[in-house]
Amino acid sequence: SEATPKGPFVPTKEDYQKVYDEIATKLANETDYDDGSYGPVLVRLAWHASGTYDKETGTGGSNGATMRFAPRHARDFLEPIKAKFPWITYSDLWTLAGAAAIQELGGPTIPWRPGREDKDVAACTPDGRLPDASKDQRHIRDVFGRMGFDDREMVALCGAHALGRAHTDRSGFEGPWDFSPTVFTNEFFRLLVEEKWNQRKWNGPTQFTDKTTSTLMMLPTDIALVKDRSFKQHVERYAKDSDAFFKEFSDAFVKLLELGVPFQSKPEDRFVFKTSE
Ligand code: CCH
């Protein structure tokens, strides 16, 4: 008998949930990295892939995976997942991994939808579109304003620094922002408001350290969030109100991951993935 002709494979929400589950399992199993989780580095990958967007020219953003060379740690982590689900584009995988990491590290749900294509290297944006940590509030407003974010969204997004740490061999900076760098919390904001931050005395680039333990750090751009009056209002609000931070971070992160992506689907078609037990 005639074989039924097969159309191209069209993945469903369940297929993407399988990718999510694979990422979640791998995050739970591979704890021999940094503070015990690859989650923070996946969040940073999703942010860097998306944060090149320019609203004036519509260039940059996660569509295209033009940040062709993902940082090695994130790439090594995700390559086996790409091999197991070859139908997913890198740009969808990188953003989905960021959403999964936020959820798995105890953060808010990050509704997500597919639709990004991988493009040729020729579509790469020029370097220098991501923020420079040695700068101040004007720079933060320039860079995130170019992506189309307002003050409130900029502050919410920077709260991701509750996760992970800086590495001297990557950025020159060193240390974690709080005591639980593998759990998504509003601690970044609480510490920013409640601790006294002194300039660290060392040979590296200017960064700040907490008076109480001298083990934590803030970047100059983090400190700028409490130097600027408009930014500081939101820092203080998030320091007190974790629910508000979770909600507003989720909205801003969803927006970040979708910048410049020509979706066929509608916002209401976003998937809400089940977090692992
Ligand atoms: Fe960030 N970030 N980030 N960041 N970032 C660094 C690490 C992380 C800036 C600079 C740095 C966001 C905004 C900013 C993460 C998520 C986000 C590091 C250390 C620098 C420097 C890198 C290293 O040495 O490994 C600056 C400047 C800004 C804005 O002005 C936003 C927005 C997000 C996500 C929503 C995460 C997560 C990390 C930790 C990575 C890790 O390896 O642990």
**Which pLDDT belongs to residue 263?**
96
pLDDT less than 50: residues of the chain: none
pLDDT tens, residue by residue, 50-104: 999 999 999 999 988 666 667 788 989 999 999 999 999 999 999 999 999 999 9
Give the C-alpha separation, 165 to 174, whole Å: 7
User: How confident is the model over 123-141, as pLDDT tens digits?
Assistant: 677 778 999 999 999 999 9
Active site residue 202: no
Helices 242-258 & 151-158 angle (0-180, nearest 10):
100
- What domains are there in the chain, each with its CATH number? 13-128+252-269 (1.10.520.10), 137-251 (1.10.420.10)
pTM: 0.96
Distance 122 CA to ligand 1 centre (A): 26
Query: Which among 47, 94, 112, 177 is annotated as catalytic?
Result: 177
- DSSP output for 53-115: -BTTTTB-SSTB--S-S--HHHHHHHHHHHHHSTTS-HHHHHHHHHHHHHHHTT-----B---
> pLDDT at position 128, please?
82
pLDDT of residue 69: 64
Q: Decide whether any atom of ligand 1 lies within 6 Å of the 160 Cβ.
A: yes
Q: Please list the alpha-helical segments (H only) found in the chain.
A: 13-29, 39-50, 72-84, 90-104, 137-147, 151-158, 187-194, 220-227, 229-240, 242-258
CA-164 nearest atom, ligand 1: 43
Say what the pLDDT of residue 67 is: 67
